Amino acid sequence: MPPCLDDSITEDTDTFKAHLKTSLTVKEKNHQSIPTKTKQQRPNVVWLTSEDNSACWYRLYNTEHGAPMPNIERLAKHGIVFNHAYSCGPVCSVARSTIISGCHGPRTGAQHHRSQISAKMPKGLKLFPYYLRQAGYYTTNNSKEDYNYSSADKKGVWDESVMLIESKGDGDAFGRKNKVQIAKLIDIADLQLHPFPEARNQLAKALYSSQPQERYWGLISCAVFGTQATPFYETAKQLAASDPYGLVRVRAAEFLGLVEVADPMPVIYDVLNKTTDPIEVNLILNSVVLLRDAAGVQVDPSVIKNAEWAALSPLVKSRATYLTQ
């Protein structure tokens, strides 16, 4: 278990650091005095990351249909192959951030792919190469970083490297303060893992909740169930039309669009025209891309080209350009 997943993270930080320093034979202040023989015996470390992959694509895991990767296969032959390991995130930056920090992305706020608000490492912890550097290693990260942590957290990590509003970037503190509500939202999101008849009552409870986040995640789970969630079509129509929270309206419209019950775009355009938050716009445009590319929903390029919100930030412009090509 990564150290920052433990509820006693603050108390355990010193213990964790002491253990890591011992395992790396760290000499923070006088590593120059390490005997030459010891220096020569320390292994060099080359960390190769291949991202955005599925194991079934490669012959190493899929002998019949996988693509050959002879160099990786040679490394595997003389190393360790994990056959039951799963990525901690479905996109590269989230997984990379978890690996380099030892902290589960949602615990620190690093689970958002290239977020416009960087996350902060928990107090007292550093990114992994920092400890190698303190042990006397020369650390380099040329050239891609793509970690969802702040610039301050990257300071002192490498000798050479090219390259959420409420939480104020401190996902660990935010998570501690709101852990009960977050756990409840996770339970609602996990309803999609159950058969619909088992999830139905809890979905209804979420959709009629007074908490907008619960309605939001209830609608996402409904979208996953698709046409099985027919009993909630009318509720979704009501939420799409009049929910006081724009993102809830968008999720309701998205659900109805994916099951081809209603055109989601009038609701989505209305919400977009009422927001001035570029982060919210980006999130909504993700839904628009899904609806257009995966469900064949018609999107009017002229509406996007002429919208004020389409120029709110460089990232918004990039998404808008994709949708108007």
Same domain for 199 and 297, yes or no, is no
Contacts 24+ apart (CB under 8 A), 303-312: 303/269, 307/272, 307/273, 309/272, 309/273, 309/275, 309/276, 309/278, 309/281, 312/276, 312/277, 312/278, 312/281
Residues 85, 284 contacting (CB under 8 angstroms) = no
Same domain for 162 and 302, yes or no, is no
Q: How far apart are CA 25 and CA 42, in angstroms?
A: 10
**CA distances (Å), origin 158, targets 100, 128, 134, 296:** 12, 10, 10, 46
pTM of the model: 0.59
pLDDT at 284 over 50: yes
Same domain for 100 and 39, yes or no, is yes
Residue 110: inside a domain: yes
Same domain for 202 and 145, yes or no, is no
First and final C-alpha spacing in the chain = 45
pLDDT at 215: 97
Domain tally, the chain = 3
DSSP β-bridge partners for residue 140: 160
Same domain for 160 and 23, yes or no, is yes
Same domain for 145 and 39, yes or no, is yes
pLDDT at 164 over 60: no
| pLDDT > 70 fraction of the chain, expressed in percent and rounded | 84
Confidence of residue 157 (pLDDT cuts 50, 70, 90): confident
pLDDT at 67 over 70: yes
pLDDT in tens, 76-134: 898 888 888 777 777 888 888 888 898 888 888 888 887 777 888 888 899 988 998 88
The domain boundary residue, chosen from 168, 196, 230:
168
DSSP state of 43: P
Residue 47: inside a domain: yes
Q: Considering Cα of 79, then 139, then 42, then 121, what sign does the dihedral take?
A: negative
Domain extent at residue 232:
178-241+248-253
Residue 143: inside a domain: yes
pLDDT in tens, 312-322: 888 899 889 99
57 or 38, which is more confident: 57
Same domain for 42 and 115, yes or no, is yes
pLDDT at 189 over 90: yes
Confidence of residue 40 (pLDDT cuts 50, 70, 90): low
137 or 271, which is more confident: 271
Tell how many helices (H) and how many strands (E) occur in the chain. Answer: 17, 0
Q: How far apart are CA 313 and CA 318, in angstroms?
A: 9
Same domain for 147 and 277, yes or no, is no
Q: How far apart are CA 225 and CA 192, in angstroms?
A: 7
**Which helix (H) or strand (E) segment is 290 a member of?**
helix 278-295
The domain boundary residue, chosen from 117, 138, 168:
168
The domain boundary residue, chosen from 137, 168, 199:
168
| pLDDT > 90 fraction of the chain, expressed in percent and rounded | 38
Residue 71: inside a domain: no
